[in-house]
A and B are shown apart, each in its own frame.
Chain A
Amino acid sequence: MQSILTETKTSRSQTGNSKKNTVDRRLKALNIAIKRNQYHQDALIEILHKAQESYGYLEPEILEYIARQLKLPLSRVYGVATFYHLFSLKPSGVHSCVVCLGTACYVKGGGKITSAIEEKLGIHAGETTSDNQVSLMTARCIGACGIAPAVVFDGNVTGKQDPETVLQQIKAWQSEAE
């Protein structure tokens, strides 16, 4: 464990003390989750959820740390982390845009929304823009079929979208960053 702490600390030491505190807080949240689950190996998915929530994504050192804490082989932890779609081993952008491609959204043009964003941002679904601003993802039905096509902007479900409204939101994010 010591390795992550020192590594992350040194890499961010230029930015001052505040960053150091965030690192500690993130680790603390993870440790609380592990203790709350009493180091039970079957709580692996819960703990990975918590780790991703605090760190944003699952970096290799975090997976190693969790494996050691739960006394599980790293292969098992890595296997679970890569099996489930919601776990990400890559850092994501500042903003996230998840286009639902469930059947109802697909029939009502969810696919067109995805291609419009892909064209506009020059990235594919599952990728992040080079300025690290926007991550584009697709989902397999978020259960908001009544208001299809649905798009989730930074965790907020928005219904009845079309390529124009979605591009507007992305433009707003981009101008916010400038």
Chain B
Amino acid sequence: MDLTELLKIANAERNKQKSIRVHCCTSTGCQAANSLSVKNNLATAVKESGLSDRVEVVGVGCMGFCGRGPLVQIDPEDTLYEEVTPEDAPSIIDALNGGVVKPIQGDSQHPFFARQMRIVRQNTGKVDPESIEEYIAVGGYQSLYKAIYDLTPTEIVQEISKSGLRGRGGGGYPTGLKWATVAKMAGEQKYVICNGDEGDPGAFMDRSVLESDPHLVLEGMAIAGYAVGANHGYIYVRAEYPLAIQRLQKAIQQAKRYGILGSQIFESPFDFKIDIRIGAGAFVCGEETALIQSIEGKRGNPVPRPPYPAESGLWKWPTLINNVETLANIAAIIREGADWYSSIGTENSKGTKIFALTGKIRNNGLIEVPMGISLREIVEEMGGGVPEGEIKAVQTGGPSGGCIPASMLDIPVDYDSLSKIGSMMGSGGMVVMDRATSMVEVAQFYMEFCREESCGKCVPCRAGTVQLDALLTKIVNKKATMDDLTKLEALCQMVKDTSLCGLGITAPNPVLSTLRYFKEEYLELIQANNLDVSLTS
């Protein structure tokens, strides 16, 4: 395989594709809403109406508007249909022939779509994730070719550093710096790990990327391997994402068959193979040292850093660990250049970020927006606000993040602004809460989560989360006193300061941020107890 052959495959695929493509979402969300039957019926309708010469039905990845699935979109006229049932299929195909359009038509120019900027999700919803040819036809694997033949590993690392890309898994560590550290380590063996253990409840962007465009992640990993001098990669995926695993397996096989993965990639001396490792349901394995333990087949207990995985990681070899979304940005940066990428976003947060907009909000789903967009634009304009009543808070960053009150919706969404107000970007979950949601109960919900997910290795996290959960339960049950509140605050600080890994260090965040912005709710519950006490005595 060389560039001419790659372009030949791309051309052949483009010529093969018919002039009208009916895209039907086949991701987990839409499949749960029966999209596979919709797709079958659409295909039958095309055959029956005799349009097979110019129309084809294609199963594609996530279009983002998951709350209104199954989604069907017609390319190139860009008509969108929402909540399509299998019975709607004939009329959709009929409409292509000038028939009457059913009222299920959605608005593809809605701010939910129009305000987005797609870099990672550029192909999702347009290409068949199970076909490498479709990925190649939209320019896929050309960045890998460019990386191997036009750039040196050092130049690639410089390019990634210059782009300003930061880790999308939550930490926000500069990606270029991480790559440079691994690249300069000596060692006959190095590894690249793709962290697909998306455990934050309320976040599903990584699942969507893996299900909708698996080759994009493989390409990013191969470029990373070339840049840091690794020839073996692992993708660690949650077992809760069976469709993502299945599509990745298929994608790896296809890439191997074309000589794009494996030995002598594009007939160069560069070898790179990728294996999948499946998680078994442990939130802590999203932490990089725990993830490495899990890949080695052990309990997912974190180990103290330093040494960082960049120096001593998988089987003690230098290891580069990046999140799915981070790796999915790489091909675009190599293709378009660092200057282009760094022109998007804010001073310290470059590029775009995918958010999972869920909870009490009209438009549920995934959006990719440039960094620095205001939270209000996301929630009110793109998300359409809460269906009933008023918005109270937006939770970002999952169990490690915090709740942002409605009064602060105008803050720009970037790494620094979010951490300044006590929340964090996290992996990109945004759960909208309305006035009916009790913030103390939300804090307790997350604490219970952390208590159960604590691996038990270090005492502050193992015992601290149990005590914090007990104190919060006491407050929720109106059994607490002001002393308990003081204890809660002190214990939060202690767990934060002394825990071993990210899970424990960030576990108190939801409590601290709700205490900061919604303290009156805690006080009300405590006063309710005092009232009971004085009444009974």
Chain A residues proximal to chain B, CB less than 8 Å: 40-46, 48-49, 76, 79-80, 83-87, 101-104, 106-108, 139-148, 150, 156-159
Contact = CB atoms under 8 A, between A and B. Distances in A.
Given A140-B201, A156-B32, A49 B280 contact: yes
B282 interface: yes
B282 A84 contact: yes
B200 interface: yes
Contacts, number: 137
Interface in B61-86: 65-67, 69
A102 B202 contact: yes
A46 B204 CA distance: 24
B364 A42 contact: no
23 contacts: A43-B297, A45-B279, A48-B280, A49-B239, A83-B299, A103-B395, A104-B359, A104-B429, A106-B201, A106-B445, A107-B360, A108-B360, A140-B201, A143-B203, A143-B241, A144-B29, A144-B204, A147-B32, A148-B359, A150-B32, A157-B32, A158-B32, A159-B33
A140 B453 contact: yes
The 8 closest A-B pairs by CB, nearest first: A146-B66, A102-B201, A84-B280, A85-B281, A141-B201, A104-B358, A143-B204, A103-B202
Interface in B419-433: 429, 431, 433
A140 B69 contact: no
B178 to A, nearest CB: 24
Interface centre among A40, A79, A157 (most CB of B within 10 A): A157
Given A46-B278, A104-B358, A145-B203, 20 more contacts: A42-B295, A42-B297, A49-B280, A80-B298, A83-B300, A85-B281, A85-B282, A106-B201, A107-B433, A107-B437, A141-B200, A143-B207, A143-B241, A144-B66, A145-B202, A146-B66, A146-B67, A146-B69, A148-B364, A150-B32
Contacts of A83: 282, 299-300, 455
A178 B486 CA distance: 56
Nearest to B398: A103
Indicate the member of A140, A142, A148, A157 with the most B CB atoms within 10 Å. Answer: A140
A85 B283 CA distance: 10
Contacts of B199: 140-141
Given A104-B202, A107-B360, A141-B200, A79 B280 contact: no
A148 B28 contact: no
Nearest to A142: B240
B131 to A, nearest CB: 23
Contact of B299 (A43, A79, A147, A158): A79
Contacts of B298: 44, 76, 80
B147 interface: no
